Amino acid sequence: MAGQADVTQRAESGSSPGAEPSLSVVRQYLLSCGSSSIADRAFSALMLVCALSIFAIVVLILVELISGSKLTIQKFGMPFFFGSAWDPVNGNFGALPFIYGTVVSSILSLIIAVPLAVGVAIFLTEMCPAFLRSFLAFFTELLAAIPSVVYGLWAVFVMVPLLRQYLYPLLIKTLGWTGIFAGPNYGYGMFSAGVILSIMILPIISSLTREVISAVPYSQREAVLALGATRWEMIRMGVLRNARIGIVGAVILGLGRALGETMAVTMVIGNRPEIARSLLAPAYSMASVIANEFSEAADDLSRSALIEIGLALFIVTIIVNALARVLVWAVTRGAPVRGT
Amino acid sequence: MASNVVTPPLRARTSNRLWRVFANHLATVAAVGATILVMAPLIAIFCYLIYKGASSLNFAFFTQIPKPVGEVGGGMANAIVGSGVLLAIASLMGVPIGIAGGIYIAEFGRNKRLANMVRFTADVLNGVPSIVMGIAVFTLIVLPQKGFSALSGGVALGIMMIPTITRTTEEMLLMVPLNVREAALGLGVPNWRSVLSITLRTASPGVITGCMLAFARVAGETAPLLFTAFGNQFWSVSLNQPIAALPLQIFVYAISPYDEWHRLAWAGALVLIVLIVLSVSLVRYVAGRGVLKGAS
């Protein structure tokens, strides 16, 4: 009896009022009794090292990229990112056409994908019958997992011919005077890259938006409905207004994907390092130029230039992804578990 | 949901009410329209892939190596084996480290700042373009070795597996109820033994499917292999030689001008897709059933 009381007392003293409930009192007590403490410490240290390896990977990539691009960083400095010459033969490098291609194709893909993705997410969470919901959710998940090269294959043989035959002549005819949709109709070009990118990032944006919308508490919806709102007003005021930060996060995450997408873009963008006014003209992106030229880079300088483009891509995607994660996390943090 | 359209107690002007009802219907139509607009082409892509792949797939695809340009037939046997070798290296590296990282976050780092940082970094690392991994591994392994190799390709894929596996392992371990751990500790089992044989074991269906998902993801990766594994038209399983890989071969064949190679590319795409559909459905099945019955 006395021993039991002792245990209870000790256990109670172990749990201060502020302690988190996840690590239970009993467990804490048993751990502090400490048998086999050396093996336990070694084990937890080993696990810690493996967890830290994730930081190590980030640092390693950064160090490798910086040391690999030392040559061009020293030779060109910042103007590397503003020059538009790409002439490996004469050792003259500028990354502007590639940056332009990456940025414009990504923005284009967001313009196409975001309204559709948000519409799909709203439909799936607020309007969809249950049997359809699980099927569509599964399907979206599947599409997010299809490899880039397979999308590229489809784009080359199905999408580009369709666009070239039907959409582009129409665009040239009606909007050709703006200069944005002008010029020879190759089929391969900036606009095609934007379309395939939007197809690829749609599943990602819509599934994350769905997650964020589901995290909005039901009481919000009920409160707005109780005031006599229509369903759309409920979605607009009760749901979207609460979820907007998370939706922005989802969009930025899609942007990060689009910026770094390599294979599908390489296959349809046309691969010409020029800044053209027309969106139908062939262009080039940062990831594509690396994919196409890296293994054939003849000398150290051109390889260094390509690695510097990779470094820029790495830093930009790290920032974009970190921002997106913070925004999504801010909304879903206190999310109630659905269906309980 | 027509009952939502109720007249508010303070009667709004009729024109206003009509507008609200109209806007409501407009929004519904827009959302349904967006879903149809998105789903139709996506389903079309999927069906087209299956149709095209199935009509191109034959037995030779799995047993023969590529034929020279102009000859009919040939297969991707070397690329399938090559992908297998690369994925084996990647799994040897990515699975243990990834699982250990997940164990750290879930078991030792709960509510610790460091664990949160690891989780955050893993998420961010997941979004880093795969081609950047390729460059890093190139300067790390290929340059010193002075040659493309299967080993470097495997390492590049392995690095990409780590963050994904860490996150899924963590999520699965968190689903194991605390009582299970306490029961083990109460019997006098050391903590490390309890983590490995009790907690991890309980969560193992989930952890394994998480690994399969990471496996399927990197199985389709092309970009990091372009200048690490490099591709090979011939048989090779040597670790310091360039090696063929299925996605690389699909890429090369897709941008080639030969119909026969296009056919092989479609067949290869179908094989990849089947692998991915299987693993995604498995993950969904396990997650939907609740890996751990009674987990609270």
- Cα separation, B263 vs B269, in Å, equals 10
Q: Rounded to a whole number, what is the distance in angstroms from the first to the last CA of chain B?
A: 34
Ranked by mean pLDDT, the top range of A30-34, A54-58, B43-47, B105-109 is A54-58
Query: Residues 6 or more apart from A194 whose CB is under 8 A from it?
Result: A104, A105, A108, A109, A111, A112, A279
- Cα separation, A321 vs B113, in Å, equals 20
- In chain A, the percentage of residues whose pLDDT exceeds 70 is 87
Closest CA to A142 of B55, B247, B43, B171: B43
**pLDDT-based confidence at A35, cuts 50/70/90?**
low
Position B6 scores a pLDDT of 54
The residue that leads in pLDDT, A289 or A340, is: A289
Which residues of chain A make contact with B117, given a CB cutoff of 8 A? 55
- The yes-or-no verdict on residue A18 having pLDDT over 60 is no
Among B33, B125, B129, select the one facing A57 at the smallest CB separation: B125
Nearest CA in chain B to A66: B136
**pLDDT-based confidence at B102, cuts 50/70/90?**
very high
Position A313 scores a pLDDT of 94
Which residues of chain B make contact with A257, given a CB cutoff of 8 A? 127
Which residues of chain A make contact with B162, given a CB cutoff of 8 A? 53-54, 57
- Cα separation, A314 vs B131, in Å, equals 9
- In chain B, the percentage of residues whose pLDDT exceeds 70 is 92
Position B8 scores a pLDDT of 53
- The yes-or-no verdict on residue A19 having pLDDT over 50 is no
Q: Do B135 and A23 touch (CB under 8 A)?
A: no
Q: How far off is chain B from A167, nearest CA to CA, in Å?
A: 15
**pLDDT-based confidence at B161, cuts 50/70/90?**
very high
Phi, psi (rounded to 5 degrees) for A189: 170, -175
Closest CA to A208 of A157, A278, A137: A137
Position A11 scores a pLDDT of 42
Among A126, A138, A152, select the one facing B284 at the smallest CB separation: A138
Position A38 scores a pLDDT of 75
Among B46, B127, B281, select the one facing A321 at the smallest CB separation: B127
Among B8, B45, B182, select the one facing A228 at the smallest CB separation: B8
Closest CA to A146 of A188, A199, A184: A199
The residue of B26, B35, B215, B270 whose CB has the most chain A CBs within 10 angstroms, and thus the best one to mutate to test that interface, is: B35
pLDDT tens-digit profile of B283-294? 777 766 654 444
**pLDDT-based confidence at B12, cuts 50/70/90?**
low
Position A276 scores a pLDDT of 87
Among A20, A127, A318, select the one facing B124 at the smallest CB separation: A318
- The yes-or-no verdict on residue A321 having pLDDT over 80 is yes
Position A337 scores a pLDDT of 40
pLDDT tens-digit profile of A58-90? 999 999 999 999 989 998 888 889 888 888 888
Q: Are B209 and B282 within 8 A, CB to CB?
A: yes
Q: Do B24 and A141 touch (CB under 8 A)?
A: no
Closest CA to A128 of B25, B43, B28: B28
Position A32 scores a pLDDT of 63
- The yes-or-no verdict on residue B1 having pLDDT over 50 is no
Which residues of chain A make contact with B223, given a CB cutoff of 8 A? 148, 262-263, 287, 291
**pLDDT-based confidence at A317, cuts 50/70/90?**
very high
Position B261 scores a pLDDT of 87
- The yes-or-no verdict on residue B125 having pLDDT over 60 is yes
Position A29 scores a pLDDT of 63
Angle, vertex CA B226, rays to CA B225 and CA B230, nearest 5: 85
The predicted model gives A324-331 an average pLDDT of 84
The residue that leads in pLDDT, B7 or A139, is: A139
- The yes-or-no verdict on residue A34 having pLDDT over 70 is no
pLDDT tens-digit profile of B202-251? 888 888 888 888 888 899 999 999 989 888 888 888 888 899 999 999 99
Q: Do B24 and A232 touch (CB under 8 A)?
A: yes
**pLDDT-based confidence at A151, cuts 50/70/90?**
very high
Q: How far is CA A250 from CA A70, A107, A194, B204, in A?
A: 35, 15, 18, 30
- The yes-or-no verdict on residue A6 having pLDDT over 50 is no
Number of H helices, E strands in chain B: 13, 0
The residue that leads in pLDDT, B163 or A336, is: B163
Number of H helices, E strands in chain A: 16, 2
Of the given ranges (A16-20, A158-162, A294-298, B104-108), which has the lowest mean pLDDT?
A16-20
Angle, vertex CA A279, rays to CA A275 and CA A280, nearest 5: 110
The predicted model gives A267-295 an average pLDDT of 91
- Cα separation, B118 vs B130, in Å, equals 20
Position A17 scores a pLDDT of 45
As beta bridge partners, residue B230 has B243
Among B45, B49, B255, select the one facing A267 at the smallest CB separation: B255
> SS3 of A167, please?
helix
- The yes-or-no verdict on residue B5 having pLDDT over 60 is no
Nearest CA in chain A to B104: A47
- In chain B, the percentage of residues whose pLDDT exceeds 90 is 33
Sign of the CA dihedral with A261 first, then A264, A269, and A273 last: positive
- Cα separation, B41 vs A199, in Å, equals 9
Ranked by mean pLDDT, the top range of B67-81, B87-101, B188-202 is B87-101
- Mean predicted lDDT score pLDDT of chain B: 85
- Cα separation, A142 vs A130, in Å, equals 19
The residue that leads in pLDDT, B39 or B88, is: B88
Closest CA to A109 of A203, A193, A179: A193
Position A143 scores a pLDDT of 81
Position B260 scores a pLDDT of 85
Which residues of chain A make contact with B107, given a CB cutoff of 8 A? 47
Which residues of chain B make contact with A119, given a CB cutoff of 8 A? 30-31, 33-35, 38
> SS3 of A93, please?
strand
Length of chain A, in residues: 340
Position A2 scores a pLDDT of 40
Position A335 scores a pLDDT of 52
